Structure 1
């Protein structure tokens, strides 16, 4: 995910080649990050996080949100290019 995130940050998504746009559409949080994120979310619902864990959860939430926005933008580009069908 880091190479794709770097490409997204450095370039406009619209200027990426088709293969990279599709990769962004399919990207997911790294499995270790996802595992920690899920665990922290579950513990947060139970009110069991200390201050450091709350900060870590906030950081992972930001990563997750940025990923969702990037995927949505990539999907829009992919549909415009005819690489993916419209979701409607």
Structure 2
């Protein structure tokens, strides 16, 4: 099943997609659809059920700015990443690594969103470059 949408792209983005599609002998729409599919990570249903950060209290937002993986998950993730780098992962470990990476990425995104919201509300100072 597919959903058809209309988007407006900057001219340069469209030209790049068009050149790539020509080079790959593919339709521009297919190239763009595949690019979106590959670049937007999957989000677990549990995360989509969470309340939007913009609706949380100041205290809840500040708590999320310190969000971290559970220590046992973090330790297992580090161990599995080491095993992956060494080329020693089993298929079961590969699946576990994918699950832990999903948790890590979703938590990191939630934390970053909370940090942005906290700055917007004036709860914390923005980082200076």
Q: Judge same fold: TM > 0.5, yes or no.
A: yes
Instruction: Give the gaps of 5 or more residues in structure 1.
Output: 1-5
2-structure distance, mates of 1:8, 1:31 = 24
Give 1:17's aligned residue.
57
Aligned residues: 83
Question: Over aligned residues, Cα RMSD in angstroms?
Answer: 1.6
Give 1:58's aligned residue.
98
Give 1:74's aligned residue.
114
Q: Measured at CA, do residues 28 and 44 of structure 1 come closer, stay the same or move farther in structure 2, by a change above 3 Å?
A: same
Give 2:41's aligned residue.
none
Give a deviation string over 1:42-72, Cα, whole Å, max 9, x none.
0100000100000000110010000111011
TM-score, length of structure 1 as denominator length:
0.87
Give 1:47's aligned residue.
87
| 2:89 pairs with 1:38 | no
Equivalent position SS for 1:26? coil
Larger radius of gyration: 2
Instruction: Give the gaps of 5 or more residues in structure 2.
Output: 1-45
Instruction: Extract structure 1 runs of 4+ deviating beyond 2 A.
Output: 6-10
Q: Which has the higher contact order (CA 8 A, sep 6+)?
A: 1
TM-score, length of structure 2 as denominator length:
0.61
More helix by share: 1
1-structure distance, mates of 2:47, 2:63 = 11
